[in-house]
A and B are shown apart, each in its own frame.
Chain A
C-alpha cells in the first residue's frame, strides 16, 4: 500500500494554516491563556490519523488541535472554542488543552502523561465493545517519564490491548533538554515491555504513514500495542510567547538585560556554591540559550514544506489544492469572528 500523499498534504496544510491563524488571534489577545501549537508535528498526526476509522479512539495531550482537525472535527467549532464562544466545540468551557469530541471518541488533557491511561481505557472499551477498533495515545518525550505513562505501557502490553503509543520527540520539555532527565532510551524502554518500537523521522509523513499503518493493523488483529517514536521540531517553542525563545532571539533586549543583571548578582553573592559549581550553572544556561538559537538558525526541517517540495512537480494541482485550503481557512476565520 502507498499513501495518498496529496490527501496527507492537504490535511497537513489545513492544520498548519489553521494554527497560524490561531497564533494571530492569540497575539491579538482574542484567545486567552497558554497556547501550545502542534506546528512541526503535522506529519506525525497526519500519518497516524489517516488510518483511523469510525469507532477508533484518540487520547491527546496539550497539542490536540492538529489530530482533531485531521480526524474530522469541525474546524469552526474548534476555533470558536478557542475564542471562548458558547457555540464552540466545548461551549467555551474547555479551551485548547481540553478539547473533547465524543463523536470521535477523542479526549485531550493538559496533565502531562494523562493520555497514557486514557488510551488504555479506550483500548479496553474497544476490546469489549468494538472489536477491531483501536486507540491511539499522543504524547511528548517528556511525558514518557511520567509513572502513569510507563504503567500504561505495561498494562497495554500485559493485556495485549489494541493501542498505539505515539511519542513525538522535539527534544525539549519546556526549558529542559529531555535527554538530560531521561535514563536509557525510549525505544529500548518500550521494547522492554515486549512491544514493537519503531524509530522514525517525524518530518517524513510517508515513513510515519507506513509504520503507523502496520502498527494499527496489528492492533486491530489482536497482536497488541506498538510504540512509535518520531523526531520532530517545534519552531514556535513550547508555547506562544515562549520566554526561552524570546531571550535567545533578542539577546540585547531590555528583558534580557533585567534577567542578566539578576543572574550576575546571584553569581557574585557571598555564600553559596564554590565558584566552579556556579560556573557550571552559568555554562548550563548559556548552552541552553545557544541550543535554542542553534535550532532556530539552522533550517529546521519542516514537514509541510518538505512534502510541498516533493509534490511541487505537479504545479497546477498544487496551486489548486493550496487555493482550496487557503479559501477554507479564510472562510473559517471570517465565520469564527462573528459574535455569538
Chain B
C-alpha cells in the first residue's frame, strides 16, 4: 500500500496501462503540460496536444479506437463535451450495435467535472446522467484514489467507450488551476478521504458496474456518487448523533448501474435518499427510483440534487449544490415522515 493523491492515482494507473500496452495513447488540449509526466516518459507520439477542435479530435478518437488503438481522449471539462457530442452520441455509442457486435470502440473520454469553487454554470456541471442516458456509453465517477486508479484501468481495458469523470474537488491540480490559482485567500470544501488515500502497489481493474458500500445503517439508504458520497458520509455521521443510522452506497459507475446492490440495500431499510450533484430532472436520481420500484421494492424516497443552472456566486452555488445540511434535512424528513 502507498498513499497517493486522487490525481496521482489516476496517473499511476495510466502509467501502468501505457507501459503494458503500446496501443494506449492520449490526446487533448494542453496535454504536454497537463500530462507532462506521461509526455516525458512516453513521448510526443503517444501523448499529443491537439488544437481546440473537440468535434474533430473526439471523433478521431472513436475511429482510432476502431482501428486498433486505445485512446484516452481528454476534453478538459465535461462541459466542453457539448462541442464533441455527435462523436459520442451517434458514433462511439453505436459502433458495436451497428456492426452487429463485430466492431468495437475501446476509447476513454476523460474530463474533469463538478462545482464548488465559483466558476459558473458552463464550467461546473457533472452531466453523468445525460451521458449515461445513451445506450452504449459507460460512465464512471470515482470518489477515492483507489477507485480512481482502478476504474481508469478498467476503462482503458474495456472494449467500448467509457466516459471517465474526475471531480474537481478531488483532483487537486484542476482545483488549483480553476479555483485557487495559487491563492491562499480562498477555501474549498475538499473531502480529505477523496483527495488522497491508500492505493495498491500494482493496479487491478475495479470492475465497471459494481457499487461500494461505504457505510452500514438500518434506517435509510443513501445512494450517491463522486463527491456526493463524501457529503453523504459527513451527513450520516451527523445523523447518527441524532439516532438516525444511514447506509451509504457509492455507485462508482452510473452506467452500467449496479442494480443488485441498489435493490438489496434499498429493501433492507425501505427508505432511499439519492444524493446526486447532477441535474435532478430526467436523470440518475429518477432512474434509481424507477429501478427500485420496478423490482417491486416499496420504498420511501427523497432526493438532493442540482435543480437549476449553477449560479456563479459562491454563496448561491453553495445552496444549490448538494450539501451536508440539505442531506440531513432530507434524511430526517424520510425517517420522520
Hey, which bits of chain A sit against chain B, CB under 8 A?
A: 26-29, 32-35, 81, 84-85, 90, 92-95, 97-98, 109-113, 142-143, 145-148, 173-176, 178, 180-182, 239-244, 246, 259, 262-263, 265-267, 269-274, 277-278, 280-282, 284-285, 288
Contacts and interface: CB of A to CB of B under 8 A. Distances in A.
A173 B52 contact: yes
Contacts of B80: 111-112
A274 B38 CA distance: 13
A284 B32 contact: yes
Interface string B35-71: 0111111111111011111111000000000000000
Nearest to B47: A281
A262 B117 CA distance: 27
22 contacts: A32-B117, A34-B123, A34-B178, A93-B316, A95-B118, A95-B119, A97-B119, A111-B122, A112-B80, A173-B52, A176-B29, A181-B49, A181-B52, A241-B182, A243-B182, A246-B182, A265-B37, A266-B37, A272-B19, A273-B43, A277-B44, A281-B40
A218 B122 CA distance: 35
A33 B181 CA distance: 8
Contacts of A241: 176, 180-183
A110 B120 contact: yes
A92 B41 contact: no
Contacts of A270: 19
B315 interface: yes
Contacts of B311: 92-93
Contact of B43 (A29, A93, A180, A281): A281
Most buried by B among A176, A240, A267: A176
Ranked 4 nearest A-B pairs via Cβ? A241-B181, A32-B118, A29-B185, A84-B313
A246 B176 CA distance: 12
Nearest to A140: B52
A33 B118 contact: yes
A92 B43 CA distance: 44
A23 to B, nearest CB: 11
Given A95-B120, A98-B122, A244-B33, A273 B313 contact: no
Given A111-B79, A277-B45, 9 more contacts: A27-B185, A33-B120, A92-B313, A98-B312, A147-B55, A176-B32, A273-B46, A277-B43, A280-B43
B50 A181 contact: yes
Interface of B: 15, 18-19, 29-30, 32-34, 36-47, 49-56, 79-80, 82-83, 117-123, 176-183, 185-186, 309, 311-316
A278 B32 CA distance: 12
Contacts of A113: 52, 83
Contacts, number: 186
A331 to B, nearest CB: 23
A46 B123 CA distance: 29
A273 B312 contact: no
A117 to B, nearest CB: 11
Nearest to B181: A241
A22 to B, nearest CB: 13
A142 B52 contact: yes
A239 B315 CA distance: 23
Nearest to A35: B181
A26 B312 CA distance: 14
B315 A84 contact: yes
Contacts of A97: 119-120, 122-123
A94 B312 contact: yes
Given A32-B119, A272-B19, A182 B51 contact: yes
